[in-house]
Amino acid sequence: MNDFVSIEGLEVPAVIGIFDWEQAIQQPLVIDLEMAWNNQPAAQSGDIADALDYDAVQRKVVQWIDEKPWGLIEEVAEMLAARIIDMYSVATIKVRVAKPTAVKAARTVAVTIVRAQAETE
């Protein structure tokens, strides 16, 4: 499949980090998602029921990140990939989780993963 639905630059406040002081504050995570999705049915019908509802996806991402304190951005990336594949039947997903406040001298640090349905089952 060559169609994708993307969400770029979704900023989500999170309790994230491996240090004690990080577990007492919120820091921004910046989430980018690229989800394989057949866009042709929605294009033909004009019906949101045939589309990947990116608003629903972003609301779930915010909810899931807010559920608990996180240690590593790698954990967040894996959780998002597995849950989005499961909930929305996305065949393949590319997830990038960036933590702009992690390294003072860098604009951001990030991890990027690519997962497919068979890898999360």
Tens digit of each residue's pLDDT (9 = 90 or more) over 2-52: 899 999 999 999 999 999 999 999 999 999 999 999 999 999 999 999 999
In this predicted structure, the answer to whether residue 121 has a pLDDT above a threshold of 70 is no
pLDDT tens-digit readout, 75-101: 999 999 999 999 999 999 999 999 999
pLDDT of residue 16: 97
Nearest-5° Cα angle at 76, 72 to 77: 110
Confidence at 118, pLDDT banded by 50, 70, 90 = confident
In this predicted structure, the answer to whether residue 1 has a pLDDT above a threshold of 80 is no
| Strand residue runs (E) in the chain | 4-14, 27-36, 92-99, 109-116
In this predicted structure, the answer to whether residue 120 has a pLDDT above a threshold of 60 is no
The fraction of the chain above a pLDDT of 90, given in percent, is 93
* Whether residue 104 lies in the annotated active site: no
Give the integer Cα–Cα distance in Å for 71 and 89: 27
Give the integer Cα–Cα distance in Å for 1 and 66: 32
Q: State both tokens at 75.
A: 């954990």
60's enclosing H/E stretch is helix 54-66
Please identify which of the residues 60, 68, 94, 99 carries the catalytic annotation.
99
